[in-house]
Structure 1
Amino acid sequence: MNVKLGSTFFLKVVTLLIGIAVLAVCIFLLPEAARRDSIVRPGDYSIYPLLICAYGVCITFSVALYQAFKLLSYIDKNNAFSELSLKSLKVIKKCSFTIIFLILLVIVYLRVYAMFTSDDAAGPIALGLMGIFATAIIAAIVDVLQKALKNILEK
């Protein structure tokens, strides 16, 4: 196995492991959090908007992971500079903006909820802002790659 195939194989394995972790969060962690919250606060449905956004982020992140896996497959097949790669990068960029939007919705919800309940939402809001920052960096990198690929394909 040459170096290029070895590195793309490693990245594919990492992508699959991250996908399995996201699936585990969706199947085990989020429903368990909803169950525990319903036991502690029966009749309070304030966690449902957070769960909807969390599932939205997980689904969108899974789509982006799938597109990254496809992009690595294109690199393996020497189709890195093709329209298919450009399309995958576009989908990844749209997914990153969707994730940013969903995190912003959670931050706004937490802020409004904290005003009505006198809770302190500074910690979750700070984590959300860090998530937005990390996702924005990924979106910027994908945008630079997309522009470079578009320039190469136009020539």
Structure 2
Amino acid sequence: MIVKHGSTTFLKVIIFLTGIAVLALCVWLPEIAIRDARVHPDTAFFLIPFLLCAYGFCIAFSVALYQAYKLLTYIEKNNAFSELSLKSLKIIKKCAFTVIFLILLGIVSLRVLAKVTGGDDAAGPISLCLMGILATSIITAIVDALQKPLKNILELKPEND
């Protein structure tokens, strides 16, 4: 299977730029949290769980990006149907489930924060979180759809050799 390097290079650049954006978010998260704590000192105690979820999300997302980058490298080297590709897909799927869990944890903390503050409506942020869960679920389904045939091919491969 001959792969055009232009398309994989484009995808690698997109992954790299997304990684830079995630890194920038990680750098600015504490500043944003401190600014919010100064504006709303009565809910500042919610910032620690928020930061833990946010950094967990960033770590899981970064690991998934790295594995996607490695997967594209395997594809470029015509090594797409290998155990390494299958391993990368498994890690991407685990990271996606981790991201979904952390988003759900964020939704729960938003609901608790809305109850504690009394008047805040968390419908907007929660709907954004649900859209994130939907997007991550779609990615997980695609990875699973890629993983099953690859696993079947790798199971049949030794018998043909």
TM over 0.5: yes
What corresponds to 1:87 in structure 2?
A: 87
- The two structures have a TM-score, normalised by structure 1, of 0.94
What corresponds to 1:40 in structure 2?
A: 39
Task: Return the letter of the residue paired with 1:81.
Answer: F
- The two structures have a TM-score, normalised by structure 2, of 0.90
Q: Distance in 2 between matches of 1:134 and 1:79?
A: 28
Residue by residue, what CA displacement relative to the aligned partner does 1:54-106 show, whole Å, maximum 9, x if unpaired?
A: 11101100000000000001011111000000000000000000000000001
- Give secondary structure in 1 for the equivalent of 2:45: coil
Residue segments in structure 2 that go unaligned for 5+ positions in a row: 157-161
Q: Percent identity?
A: 71
What corresponds to 1:104 in structure 2?
A: 104
Displacement of 1:151 in angstroms is 1.1
Residue segments in structure 1 that go unaligned for 5+ positions in a row: none
Q: Distance in 2 between matches of 1:62 and 1:32?
A: 21
When residues 66 and 129 of structure 1 are mapped into structure 2, their CA distance, relative to the original with a 3 A threshold, is same
Matched, 1:143 2:149: no
Displacement of 1:46 in angstroms is 1.6
Q: Distance in 1 between matches of 2:48 and 2:128?
A: 19
What corresponds to 1:115 in structure 2?
A: 115
Displacement of 1:152 in angstroms is 1.2
Stretches (4+) displaced over 6 A: none
Displacement of 1:129 in angstroms is 0.5
Displacement of 1:3 in angstroms is 6.3
Matched, 1:50 2:59: no
What corresponds to 2:30 in structure 1?
A: 31
User: How well do the aligned residues superpose, as a CA RMSD in angstroms?
Assistant: 1.4
Task: Return the letter of the residue paired with 2:132.
Answer: G
| Aligned residue-pair number | 153
Q: Distance in 1 between matches of 2:151 and 2:3?
A: 26
Q: Distance in 2 between matches of 1:132 and 1:42?
A: 30
Q: Distance in 1 between matches of 2:20 and 2:110?
A: 28
